[in-house]
Structure 1
């Protein structure tokens, strides 16, 4: 195995790119073997993960007939996500990240296999689905920040935006293919087959983690306890740019994520059938298209402005989609939202990875995972609860509009974030 220092590859001299290469996604990081394997394993396994992400809420709605119970899946995932995300990030700064990624990935795989078993047994228990969702969330909360903290050790600093764009594009490709595949599987076969697809594809992630070099901490060793978690949170609080990058994402996901409404509106507005798969896939379709034409992203310096505008674009497009009563119009508008989300995700991740030193990256990615994965789950809970009081249209459209207003006000009130450019480091608060 290579040493940690050997896994950080020296940068090649910059070359003048043809015009078309400046527009298309930058694939340079894929030339590096360790990153390429990690990317491939994550990309393949994420398709299966998204099949399960559709099958679980659809099964829950079939059992209960309630969007509120679908929203409760978000709460079941959120609690372990917060606890294990923060703790897992601290552990990732204290131990070999390869080993930690392997262990947490096995937990995810076992939870998926348990979903297969419950479906085959015909248990039809809402509480069991909540419990297995919580276990899956715990595994993801540790594996996610660990994997993200590994990336700056595998690629040169100037390739971090490109690597993040590739990761988000591949994840969103999985979010397109996975829900569409789930729609076909659920229509023709069963929940057990859907969960089985996830279990089989996830073996690629296990293989990729196993093939990584050992990645021992390079900075000061930390004890993965409450003190280390507190140090990570304090680091964020003292850096307005980091704090704002998290805040705008929380607003976007909590107020403008309509996902929990998809099973209901697919039936009520769009006639059921494959509509639910298209709704779940729509934002990811836009993200993939944006990612494939993302060569410009790494050249933008005013990343604070770009992030703000992207999040506001997400809110506007989501609100417009909530007014559509034609499935394909809704899909197009959600795709526009997804394109905005891809841009904002790349800048959030890049700001975080460049701003934080390596000995802090695990904890920073732990918080990032809690926010990025926990925000949509809070959004699910918010959407489900609001729908039960005010109906799906108000829950969907009102959230998108509120997101736009809150992000605009917050961004202009923090000048350091608004003026942030890509050359700033964490040494500047």
Structure 2
């Protein structure tokens, strides 16, 4: 009969190869959330719909440039996309706290699909002006902004708290794979099936998510005696809630620091042309730099199995943000294309770790009746920070050079992250809860 120390002796007797294999399996993506059927359906459907969404991401600016021949009009997609995202991201979060989230997901998902169909009609029929395309794009952005807070707020109702980092890692990995595969697929398909067909494929792909959402159980608001509303007062209450909960506040502030100061994408074209010899319209080096950050995020997602064992999540986020800043700073300092890609991939991997933990903290700290609004703020912060970086990186690149502008931004990220955490030490001390509150 085996004694109590038999497992220990068995472990010690394992060959080095077997121990290495077991360690590698432990480091790979934690797939426990996929054992929950509702989450598994949402995640699997997301693989299809994320790639489809990226087809429209490519098609909209391509169609606008085809209609106008002007990059100025293409640049308007930033404005027409950001404003609905901010307004409806915040309002959509309040709505997600007031009604059944499954119902909201079905409504907003159908709206995204119908707007893609409308874009297909305008493109295939040749009936769309640039302003009609921009208006439909803004409408689609509004539906997307309503959809995302509800989708994120549903996850904690489907899974136990210790699986939230793994679920966020799985979702993030799918999104980043789509960010790489979607544009590549669009480039292959446009000469074969035409630009307008990309919209139709996006709409068809969205049927997968609508089916997965239909199969969800009802997700009504948490039991409460008060009547739920979704107006300006409720949106303002969300901001007050974030301000009173320092862990949530710092999770937003530190991401603004990382993205608004450190996202270097606007200098990529100039660096690719002046330093790495790309033609002025872009080429191989430009494509590599744009792909590097998503590739780093995908790699981090694939090797995210260890994340659920990290309980000092505030420390982990702080280190990850500083690593992001260091990667961006080194990118700006190097004169080697492959080192530049490597440093951007390092930054992308660190950003993935930060995003996974910040989303998990939000889902754990916020009560169920506030999760939709907190996810709305999260989405606005994530979307708005890089656009702020675009505003100042461009002039800085003209003034001191694109590499120097990126490096300054990276070092500012490190200084800013340290300053924010020093001001709010509660964030540094935060530990993940052992049980769902």
Fold agreement, TM-score > 0.5: yes
Contact 1:183 1:276 in 2 (8 A): no
Q: Does 1:321 align with 2:331?
A: yes
Contact 1:64 1:126 in 2 (8 A): no
Match of residue 357 from structure 2: 347
Secondary structure in 2 matching 1:202: helix
CA displacement at 1:179 relative to structure 2: 2.7
1:315-371 CA deviation, whole Å, 9 max, x = no partner?
A: 222233345566544433322121111100011001000001111111111111111
Cα 1:100–1:177 shift into 2, 3 Å: same
Secondary structure in 2 matching 1:423: coil
Give the CA RMSD over aligned residues: 3.1
- Give matches, 1:385-400, under 5 Å: 392-393=402-403, 395-400=405-410
- Of residues 390-399 and 96-105 in structure 1, the stretch that sits farther from structure 2 once superposed is 390-399
Match of residue 373 from structure 1: 383
CA displacement at 1:373 relative to structure 2: 2.5
Match of residue 120 from structure 1: 124
Match of residue 92 from structure 2: 88
> Partners of 2:155 and 2:398 in 1: how far apart?
42
Secondary structure in 2 matching 1:294: coil
CA displacement at 1:298 relative to structure 2: 1.2
Contact 1:176 1:282 in 2 (8 A): no
Match of residue 147 from structure 2: 143
> Partners of 1:396 and 1:122 in 2: how far apart?
41
Cα 1:426–1:34 shift into 2, 3 Å: closer
Match of residue 252 from structure 1: 258
1:230-264 CA deviation, whole Å, 9 max, x = no partner?
A: 22111110111110100111122222223345566
> Partners of 1:42 and 1:285 in 2: how far apart?
18
Among 21, 24, 28, the alignment partner of 2:28 is 24
Match of residue 407 from structure 1: 417
Match of residue 231 from structure 1: 237
Match of residue 6 from structure 2: none
CA displacement at 1:124 relative to structure 2: 8.7
Match of residue 106 from structure 2: 102
> Partners of 2:349 and 2:142 in 1: how far apart?
28
Contact 1:290 1:342 in 2 (8 A): yes
Cα 1:414–1:58 shift into 2, 3 Å: farther
Match of residue 14 from structure 2: none
CA displacement at 1:61 relative to structure 2: 6.2
> Partners of 1:114 and 1:173 in 2: how far apart?
26
The structure number with the bigger radius of gyration is 2
- Give matches, 1:131-210, under 5 Å: 131-186=135-190, 190-210=194-214
Among 288, 300, 317, the alignment partner of 1:290 is 300
Higher RCO (CA-CA < 8 Å; seq separation 6+): 1
> Partners of 2:290 and 2:238 in 1: how far apart?
34
